[in-house]
Amino acid sequence: MKNEFVRTGLFVAAAIVAIGAANYIEPEAAKSEIFSDTGETFFPEFRDVMAVKAIEVVDYDEADAVARPLKVEFRKNRWVLTSHSDYPAEAKDRMAKTAAALIDLKKDQAVSDRWEDHAGYGVIDPLDTKNPSLQGRGKRITLKDAGNTTLAELIIGKAAPNKAGYRYVRLPGQKRTYAIKTEVDASARFEDWVESNLLRATPADIVKMTLNAYQIDEQFGRLVNLQRTVMEKDKPSWNDQARTTAAALASLRVVGARPKPPQLAEQLKTGQLALTLETVMSLRQRGFHITPNGQLLSNEGELGVETAQGLIYTLRFGEVVSDSTAVSAASVAKPRENRYLFVTVGAKNPDKEPQAKALTAKFADWYYVISGADFAKLHPGRREQSKVVAPPGLPPGFPAEMMQRERPQAMPGQPGMQGPARPPVQGPALPPGAAPRPQPQD
């Protein structure tokens, strides 16, 4: 037995000597294979940007410990955000740049071949459910063709220190991490993929704004805290606050959107708004209320905007957003600040009606979500005042379209509703600055 131990020790010693001799004779042979693919292309088969028909970006929200995906696809000859109820993806430059950034992408420098280093480089897969780490997760970007075949897929991590333009990346499922020079901008923010100017207006276009500030007392079905502010260009009312509001309107960007019921959207497009249970409930859930005669009210009032081109926008401010699926990953950190927005458009002159109709079709399908910062600019804090309750005819000086209407307590489903419910009423849907004419009283 003793001789066997001696022989084993001799074999081990001989192996050590052999390895040492090999390292001395050929030191490169003992090095890691980590640099073997330096300079190679990540996706050699991906050559055509036009082949990309789907882009998915998955980001990780460390605060909520959840992955937040955004997916855009080319469907029926247009790009839509399939992760957000098929909202139109209007930022076509971003789509092209995101896809093009992965073509001919080189493996510039391998920095690690260890799984344990992924957190430090920020390249943990955001979809990895087995890794317990809540930090060090990167963004995963995937490009696919029309047949759902993956063309390119990469996890993008932290920026490399002291190397401008370089980021750490790795391929999903592989342990090797690289530092590469890339301009890929993988954003999972809803607002980065949609139009940056919702109203398509400039500050110079806006000539008049009317803020009808009020609140709805849902318990008693009435308006309270009524206040009206008119701001008109080239008049004393066009002050710093007016200029701030106009600038906010000209750069209004939505941070989320929720689809309206198809029936309601179609009614808005055709100009015939009917009271149905689905319509009433959909509106109420988001802070909007419709009276039996077709008047639309909102929890936080409305802003009328008139442009030099003869268009009149009405922006109605609804409830705060509590559903995080309605907003982008970047906006859920403070969900109470986000608010629903309902937009309608009309024409001051007949020659602008086709343009107003086209914009109406654009806005009719969606409840928009705006940030708390934009809401504060569009709806500045009301002046200190005692609580005012609206009588049946609303105070003098309030917009004519809100006078001589049935009192809001008659809204279907509202507490305090008196008398039998009215059948659906049809009439012009939310024209700019004016609501439908009153229906005959029973």
What's this model's pTM, rounded to 2 decimal places? 0.75
Give the chain's end-to-end CA distance (angstroms, integer).
112
Residue 437 confidence (pLDDT): 38
In the three-class reduction of DSSP (H, G, I as helix; E, B as strand; rest coil), residue 42 is classed as coil
Regions of the chain where pLDDT drops below 50:
1-2, 5-6, 8, 10-12, 14-27, 29-31, 325, 328-336, 383-442
Residue 8 confidence (pLDDT): 47
Residue 151 confidence (pLDDT): 97
In the three-class reduction of DSSP (H, G, I as helix; E, B as strand; rest coil), residue 266 is classed as helix
Residue 19 confidence (pLDDT): 45
Q: Which residues of 9-40 are buried (b: 16+ CB within 10 A; e: fewer)?
A: eeeeeeeeeeeeeeeeeeeeeeeeebeeeeee
26-54: per-residue pLDDT in tens?
A: 445 434 577 788 899 999 999 999 999 99
CA 119 to CA 402: how far, in whole Å?
59
CA 268 to CA 360: how far, in whole Å?
8
DSSP symbols for 223-283:
EEEEEEEEEETTSTT--HHHHHHHHHHHT---SEEEEPPHHHHHHHHHTB----HHHHHHH
